[in-house]
Structure 1
């Protein structure tokens, strides 16, 4: 049992380390060379680098020490372990990439005109890194701790919380950064927030159908036979008519939507159909863990 737990924790830590590596790379390869900005504590470290040439690795470590203890108190012992891993690995990879850039082994991406390209790639790398860290239960310290607290307490999207914090911090940076660079930064922050939510919610996207019909059983039979999809029949009562109804609930991939529509209309053209987005599906016929 002990061996299993160690292996499980190891599998949890490795993606967090890889996520911080991707995040550190995006910061030093796209953000700082093009004098763009970032939000949260990382934005403060970027400003300190611009103003006083303080290495981001050093300022990241110093600024995250008090936030680490805040996370220890609120998020609990196990969560703070992953937070410590995130802070430590982020600091290490920032230091590593700083050294590789200094010796010329990595040439940062710089541009004088096409800043939108830098902003797009920065958003993808930063959001991808943070999304991986969040999906495996870690944080990189800073505003990530605040975002995870709001996610746990209120169920708010971590990407949206980070977006709000980042806009606030970046707005304050108008005192130091040209307006056009701030606008490009907002593009990067927006892309990053969408990538974070995409990774958090799952890459697989499906559709859930709720079909209210007097012929729900017939529809379910055809869907089960022809599409090989499971269907759940839910008894219901119309609030206005007071009549008994049945609701057929079925989850299908996006490619199967048209086929399911055709089946429903062929059986009952007056069926009431509700379609919802499903961002992550686990089980038979869909993705398995």
Structure 2
């Protein structure tokens, strides 16, 4: 019994070390990609991002001091807020990511920009930046303190975190018009939108999960076909109509975005009058969801 516990503890420690190493590699990669987006695309073309990063870019432009220094110094106060709000692991991951971002930004500063085409720089800079930030967020860290600050503010004012982030970023991005030119401010807004979309894709994944609810008199047949043709497990629930009092069998299952069209076709083929509701899911764990679809 003691030997079994000892083995399990060793396995647990080994898994913990592997997870820590994976997190370190992922955050380092994310910080590098963000630095590429900034120093190779956006900054040389006078395009900024939102949040603390945007403020750092403008201060670097005004003072001539390297961007990496401002990225490190301005984000430090938010690491403390993150520690208070989300705990030690988040704070350590965040400060490591910020340090790596500052180092990479400093190392990449002398590198010539890949393009002087403002539109290409805006698009690819936003993509690289968004992918980098998304990777870090997926691994429990952050590279910009704006979101952390917004969470703290949202507890004291009647606005959501998203609304506060948007307000702060619109103010920062608008300020680019005074520091640079107004066309650069508009390109900055475009870069911010592209980066935000890239972050969403990285966090949710290309195959975004969706929950499906189906109410049909042919529930058993639909459930069987979903299992056979999509390879997805289904759950049957007993439902009752509030108005009619009729008892119905309800199907619940989870699919990917790419499987949505196929599932809709299956339901329409078997029962065109079936009630079908599909909604986005932020995260799915456990069960047989990762099983590949059967064609």
TM-score normalised by structure 2 residue count: 0.82
1: CA distance, partners of 2:100 / 2:161: 21
Q: After the TM superposition, which residues 131-280 of structure 1 pair with which residues of structure 2 at under 5 Å, given as runs?
A: 131-146=134-149, 162-254=165-257, 256-278=259-281
Specify the alignment match of 1:284 in structure 2. 288
Query: What is the deviation of 1:37?
Result: 1.6
The alpha-carbon distance between structure 1 residues 85 and 267, as it changes in their structure 2 partners (threshold 3 A), is same
TM-score by length of structure 1 reads 0.84
Unmatched tracts of structure 1, length 5 or more? none
Equivalent-residue separation in structure 1 for 2:211 and 2:40 (angstroms)? 41
Alignment of 1:34-49 (within 5 A): 34-49=45-60
Shift of 1:158: 8.2
1: CA distance between counterparts of 2:230 and 2:92? 46
Please report the RMSD computed on the Cα atoms of aligned residues, expressed in angstroms.
Answer: 3.0
Aligned length: 278
Helix, strand or coil at the partner of 2:49: coil
- Name the CA distance, whole Å, in 2 between partners of 1:223 and 1:108: 50
In 2, the alpha carbon distance for the partners of 1:266 and 1:220 equals: 13
- Post-superposition offset of 1:268: 2.5
Aligned counterparts of 1:248 and 1:28: Cα–Cα separation in 2:
51
- Give the match's secondary structure for 1:189: helix
SS, match of residue 90 in structure 1: helix
SS of 1:211's equivalent in the other structure is: strand
**Does the CA contact (< 8 Å) of 1:131 and 1:195 recur in 2?**
yes
Equivalent residue for 2:125, pick from 122, 125, 134: 122
2:95 matched residue in structure 1: 84
Pair 1:66-2:77 in alignment: yes
2:140 partner SS: coil
Work out whether residues 158 and 197 of structure 1, in 8 Å CA contact, stay in contact via their aligned partners in 2: no
Q: Deviations over 1:103-161 (max 9, x none)?
A: xxx321342xx422111111101101100010100112432433676899xxx998876
* Residues in 2 aligned to 1:15 and 1:86: alpha-carbon distance in whole angstroms: 10
Distance between the aligned counterparts of 2:26 and 2:161, measured in 1? 18
Aligned match of 2:5: none
The residue aligned with 1:109 is 114
The residue that corresponds to 1:16 in the other structure is 27
